[in-house]
Amino acid sequence: MSVKKDSYKWVVLVIAFMLMLTFAISLQSLPQIFNEIQKDIAFSNSQAGILMGAYAIPGILLPFLVAFLANRYNKKSIIIISLIIMMLGLIGFSKSTSFSTLLTFRLVTGIGATALVILAPLLVTMFFDKKNIGIGMGIFNTAVPTGTVIATNLFGILGQRIPWRSIILAIALFIGIVLVINIFSLYLPKEEARNSKKISKDLQKDPSASLLSNVNLWIIALVWMLGNGQL
């Protein structure tokens, strides 16, 4: 069992890496195709900045809610729901015909992304011990710059050759692939599932109980809230 867990941690690392990759690619997808979007939907440069900032707004307001839900419910389920929310946000964005709908679906996408960036690093810490956590987190932390480089260099070229709506739908398709991988390849250790059930029962008895049972999760939520505020 320990051998299986030792090898499976690399699968988890790939999953966590892909979760952060979806976040980075989705975040950085717009600047390179703003000119193409503005040909279909009129908005100013300041409104373009609002669209970029809207992605980070949920990351300021929602991290502690995500931490609460992750303590109470199954983390895999929250990841799956978050990926679905991101997909719906991107699909809605690709179908938008006004700035207001662009902004709405950009916010929706940011809501899904917020949960991912809080839970993805937690997956690494769950499966990597103190001896290997350094290399695990080192590889994991390359996901955002990798996604940024891909988006920055690829979407500008694609925007000159295919419609911008198709680019956004392609990102949604990529997230759909990540969703399928999570459904069939990610599992929680039994002890983690038992802890989630116990916390849920404790909260039903006393809503104020067990909220700080996973301090690391709350710290991640705080760090991400501050990080998005800085952005």
Q: At what angle do helices 63-72 and 99-127 cross, to 10 degrees?
A: 50
pLDDT at site 213: 56
pLDDT, average across residues 159-181: 96
Average pLDDT over all residues of the chain: 86
User: Could you read off the pLDDT of 127-140 as tens digits, one per residue?
Assistant: 998 888 999 999 99
pLDDT, average across residues 150-179: 95
pLDDT band per the 50, 70, 90 thresholds, residue 2: very low
pLDDT at site 6: 76
159: Cβ–Cβ under 8 A, 6 or more apart, which residues? Answer: 32, 33, 35, 36, 167
pLDDT value at 211 more than 70: no
pLDDT band per the 50, 70, 90 thresholds, residue 219: confident
Share of the chain above pLDDT 70, in %: 85
Q: How far separated are the first and last CA of the chain, in Å rounded?
A: 43
pLDDT, average across residues 189-211: 52
pLDDT, average across residues 49-73: 87
22: Cβ–Cβ under 8 A, 6 or more apart, which residues? Answer: 83, 86, 113, 116, 147, 171, 174, 175, 178
pLDDT at site 203: 47
Span 2-230 CATH architecture: Up-down Bundle (1.20)
pLDDT band per the 50, 70, 90 thresholds, residue 3: very low
H helical segments located in 28-163: 34-40, 45-54, 57-61, 63-72, 75-94, 99-127, 133-140, 143-159
What sign does the dihedral 135-139-144-148 (CA atoms) show? positive
pLDDT band per the 50, 70, 90 thresholds, residue 56: confident
Q: At what angle do helices 190-205 and 63-72 cross, to 10 degrees?
A: 100
Q: Is 205 exposed, middle or buried (0-12, 13-18, 19+ CB in 10 A)?
A: exposed
Q: Is 93 exposed, middle or buried (0-12, 13-18, 19+ CB in 10 A)?
A: buried
Specify the range with the lowest mean pLDDT, choosing from 87-96, 107-116, 136-145, 207-216.
207-216
Backbone angles phi, psi at 140, to 5 degrees: -60, -40
pLDDT band per the 50, 70, 90 thresholds, residue 199: very low
Specify the range with the lowest mean pLDDT, choosing from 10-19, 85-94, 196-205.
196-205
CA gap 146, 169 in Å, rounded = 20
pLDDT, average across residues 213-230: 73
Question: 204: closest CA among 73, 79, 115?
Answer: 73
User: Could you read off the pLDDT of 93-129 as tens digits, one per residue?
Assistant: 999 999 999 999 999 999 999 999 989 998 998 899 8
200 vs 89 pLDDT, higher one = 89
pLDDT at site 68: 85
Q: Is 108 exposed, middle or buried (0-12, 13-18, 19+ CB in 10 A)?
A: buried
